[in-house]
Structure 1
């Protein structure tokens, strides 16, 4: 029993390293999600239709966020490992790859959203038994999306820099920039949504404009800090003198990173399709799911942040050649993720009936939202374990396996289940959602098998250096 305990629980030094990395990420994500909740409540004060329209757009933006995350994560695996081996030139080249990838992803999404945004939003609007006005939902969504698009390039630049800073152990600057951004967002939301202090009353367009202003502020803070502290970020020296990445590294990042980007795209698309299936229960279902998702995001920050910390810690250990320690620490990190998320799940259940009361919506929507929150809380520890397994496998560059583990599960299991339950049963949205979420247990079994195999633990930085050397010799 004592041996088992020692494999799952680390010493004081272990938790010191973990907390130093994860707490700033939790703080940033926590403040972001909390202000996101307040933002959502403010929009909710303008009516159920406006809230539903914004929720639909945010579901579409969710796909962009995760595709961008996936596109940067492939290079990020190498960034963390190069940092572990103190290879500044390697980091520099991975950042260049990130920049070029981010520009392509952002440009493609803005074009698609601009020309096809109306059609995408319409796919989520179904009357069902709801009393809401579908035309007003569509109009609100279009207005919000058009006002939001201009800010995406600023957000993209921030993600390139912030992800690199985190991967090289500087989690505090992105956290502070994020805090400043969400406070700016909250301040301008109040002014622009409701027309306070002489500002125009813009409703959902005001919410989008406030988000854009906050993203400019966040980008400015991150860029200024990074470039005025070059002694802490030596890879920035000469970063923009060329776009050189190197054929060998580009190939490796592409091999490791493409499955990640494809995975994030299809996983987020799968989650969006599931949301679209739930929306077939009516506008009230969209509103209730929006409330529950916003609350869930606030409580999910611990296990989401733990996933980021796992990728950073294990990536640095693998890059330093400490394969055995990485395998041992992986078990402790996964256990910490599950335990911490169980605590958050308890709190989420305790407050499940409180959060919906802050929204200016119907009692039916509030009741449904509360039930959805409880379902999400019950599944949270399982989701935390699956998330920890995903980032553990990814830290060693086994991106094809993560693709099969994450994306294929959504499309082979979750989406078909949601489609079947919505179209072939008359179950209410809560039971449909619960049925889909219960399937996460199957995913956790697969994750456990993959992590225990230990095949994910490999030193990519060493392999990349050796390949580059061979190419140079030739």
Structure 2
């Protein structure tokens, strides 16, 4: 029977890239449902409520980034030790991952009493939006143990090749969230209407139930690993974060960028903050296929680089770039044609539509460049260089986007803010092209 390694080295590249990428796209789609469903129902409360969860998004993003970065590092060590048939060491890594997840949950519970109010007040002056933001963050931070445990258990299942169980865990959590959102927000079946706080409670309930399902799958259906208790091991922690830190920093940079943008836009209109929030919800869906290809490219190139199969590497690179370019042209066209209809999903007010329609059309021009950039940085990672990906993120968001946004707000109009995305993504493409012709070319010439 052909094993996974043989498929990476022998299966036709188009079929292989689809086979590796498709489950990742499904998983990402399920994950994005949490925030999208919250946004859909919260938008029906008011624009102020929608603005609040947009303001809360960077904090949630950092939480998920830390959890995923930790999970990626843990998964890397777990897979390596499982490949070596060192099950004792594998169990130890999983137990350390459990320890880290519990620590983060406790820390965020304590911070949930301190951070939300000053964080919200630093971005807007509107008391209603501040109140909604505090309500939402106190719950999602205070009960963040669910998201950390869910992602931890998903990565454990992934490391042993149980991708179907991972997707099932995510699906159960997402469905629970979808069912509970309207019930908790609007107060059905005799429950009180809890508004924004209800959306947060629905989210963490879905995550907790997803984590419980993950624990059941791990203990009942995953015989390779037997996690007994949380464990502390400094060397394993170092190994986890040697791999996971670049991913975490990249997400943190994105969250910092959104935070600064919200502060800049609050001086113009809270509707602008709501419009940016809608943009990031749309973006999460637009980029899903690209991120799926992005994650599929890495193991294919890495395996064939180790096997010194230059031809398959080049075919993978060309196919990935061609696929994301076609996909981004299609989604950019859809967004440019239907921006008003897209914003209506979030119950957009007239002011939000006035700001949001040109915003979506302008930002859509950046997507073609963004697809090339995302795949390019994944190719760097496949050749063992995560630093180039991190530098690219800093270039796009800190060096270019924020200065352009600041200049636009101070000297021009709000529409010029959105052109910062296009300029930043174009600069990223130039960055990718340069290092494809230098770093990647040198790697291929050594084969």
User: What runs of 5+ residues in structure 2 fail to find an aligned partner?
Assistant: 1-8
Distance in 2 (CA, whole Å) between partners of 1:255 and 1:455 is: 26
Counterpart CA distance in 2 for 1:226 and 1:355 is 39
**2:5 — aligned with what?**
none
Q: CA deviation at 1:61?
A: 1.3
Kindly indicate whether residue 256 of structure 2 is the aligned counterpart of residue 269 of structure 1: yes
TM-score w.r.t. length of structure 1: 0.80
Of the three residues 399, 407, 418, the one matched with 1:433 is 418
The two structures have a TM-score, normalised by structure 2, of 0.85
CA–CA distance in 2 between the matches of 1:284 and 1:117? Answer: 21
Equivalent of 1:150 in 119, 128, 142:
142
| Aligned-CA RMSD value | 3.2
Asked if structure 1 preserves the Cα contact closer than 8 Å seen for 2:143 and 2:204, the reply is: yes
* CA 1:206–1:195: 2 relative to 1, 3 Å: same
- 1:138-217 to 2 correspondences below 5 Å: 138-166=130-158, 168-217=160-209
Deviations 1:430-462 (A, max 9, x none): 32122243221111221233344238979xxxx
> By how many angstroms is 1:208 displaced?
0.8
Partner Cα distance (1:83, 1:275) in 2: 45
Report the CA distance shift for 1:253/1:219 in structure 2 as closer, same or farther (over 3 A).
Answer: closer
Over residues 137-169 of structure 1, what are the superposed CA-to-partner deviations in whole Å (9 max), with x where a residue is unaligned? Answer: 111111111122233111101112223434554
Q: What CA distance in whole angstroms lies between the structure 2 residues aligned with 1:418 and 1:351?
A: 25
348, 352, 355: which is aligned to 2:342? 355
Whole-Å separation in 2 of the counterparts to 1:347 and 1:85: 48
* Residue of structure 2 equivalent to 1:468: none
Corresponding residue for residue 3 of structure 2: none
Alpha-carbon contact 1:75-1:253 (below 8 Å) kept: yes
Q: How does 1:41-440 map to 2 (within 5 A)?
A: 41-79=40-78, 91-92=90-91, 94-125=93-124, 134-166=126-158, 168-231=160-223, 234=224, 236-237=225-226, 239-240=227-228, 243=231, 247=235, 251-315=238-302, 321=307, 324=310, 327-328=313-314, 329-422=316-409, 424-428=410-414, 430-440=415-425
* Structure 2 SS opposite 1:115: coil
Write out per-residue CA displacement over residues 226-273 of structure 1, whole angstroms, 9 at most, x where no aligned residue.
322224xx2x14x447847684x6555444443443343234323432
Q: Assess, with a 3 A threshold, how the Cα gap between structure 1 residues 313 and 105 changes in structure 2: closer, same or farther.
A: farther
Instruction: Select the residue among 444, 447, 450 that pairs with 2:435.
Output: 450
- Secondary structure of 2:113's partner? helix
Q: Contact 1:296/1:373 (CA < 8 Å) preserved in 2?
A: no
Using the alignment, how far apart are the partners of 2:382 and 2:69 within structure 1? 13
Partner Cα distance (1:122, 1:456) in 2: 50
Cα distance in 2 for partners of 1:383, 1:175 equals 27
Q: How many residues align?
A: 434
Q: Deviations over 1:385-435 (max 9, x none)?
A: 22222222224442333322223542222222222322x31312x321222
| 1:200–1:325 CA distance, 2 compared to 1 (3 A) | farther
CA distance in 2, matches of 1:362, 1:241: 51
The alpha-carbon distance between structure 1 residues 166 and 272, as it changes in their structure 2 partners (threshold 3 A), is farther
Write out per-residue CA displacement over residues 63-87 of structure 1, whole angstroms, 9 at most, x where no aligned residue: 2222332333344445556667776
CA distance in 2: counterparts of 1:84 and 1:331, whole angstroms: 30
